[in-house]
Amino acid sequence: MLSLKPKLWEIPDIPQVVKQNLDAKIIQLKERLQQVAKAHRSARLASSLAVEDMLITDVIAKNNIGIEVFTLDTLLLNKETLALIEQVKIQYPTLAFRVYQPKADDVQDYESTHGKLAFYKSTELRHACCGIRKVVPLNRALQGADAWLTGQRQAQSVTRVHLPFSEQDQQRGIAKYNPIFDWSEVEVWAYILRFHIPYNLLYLKGYPSIGCEPCTRPVKCGEAIRAGRWWWESQDSKECGLHTHES
């Protein structure tokens, strides 16, 4: 008997009610972003280039909101993600957009000491890799900022169900905002599709959450959105150290 491959995640269909309510959500998001920009001297969006971040980036750019945007090139990204970085630069030529990479010496020291694929061996070694490739570059990207923003949503995973709009980044001593914390996956895609926003082509291959290439796999239909991130670990450890949600 032939075994059928499990159906992979697909871009969701958009119900009519979501389309009808989208304008109100956009107005609310614009007001939130303007509120953040007004309250801070230097606010910056940390974009993972996920559809959530592309949505926020688009609203910032279209409304000329004074929030800088940056992304982290971990040097382990898929070619599709790297292509989207270049597309963002073309799509938003006037946007303040920067790319940060890890220090080559830090990467080399980690791989020489633990091995190139050591992050599969333990959560501790995976966190150490994320620290070098994400957290340290993030700290550089946030130097001089008094607030930063993310595209996180409550519905993404069990580690984010209590995510608020605003919180305090205790480690860095600055404010942190999650402006679409209460958006659903369908609402995000409603915006992306309505305004023809560029997005990572890996979504079309069953990737609803995209990280580094060796740490991300496609997700089966019905699985949690972030099930493909660090899939060899338990659900309650699936963060990279960028977000601690301390308030």
User: How far is residue 228 from each of residues 151, 157, 224, 234, measured CA to CA in Å?
Assistant: 18, 11, 8, 11
Q: In degrees to the nearest 10, what's the CA dihedral of 60, 66, 67, 69?
A: 70
Q: Is 221 a catalytic residue?
A: no
Q: What is the DSSP string of 46-110?
A: EE-SSHHHHHHHHHHHHTT-SEEEEEE--S---HHHHHHHHHHHHH-TTS-EEEE---HHHHHHH
Alpha-carbon distances of 118 from 22, 102, 103, 122, rounded to whole Å:
44, 17, 18, 8
The amino acid occupying position 64 is: N
What's the token pair of residue 134? Answer: 């994400």
Which residue from 51, 52, 27, 29 is spatially nearest to 152, judged by alpha carbons? Answer: 52
Judge whether 45 and 68 are in contact, CB under 8 Å: yes
User: Do 183 and 25 meet the contact criterion of CB atoms below 8 Å apart?
Assistant: yes
- Of 129, 130, 212, 240, the active-site residue reads 240
Catalytic residues: 240
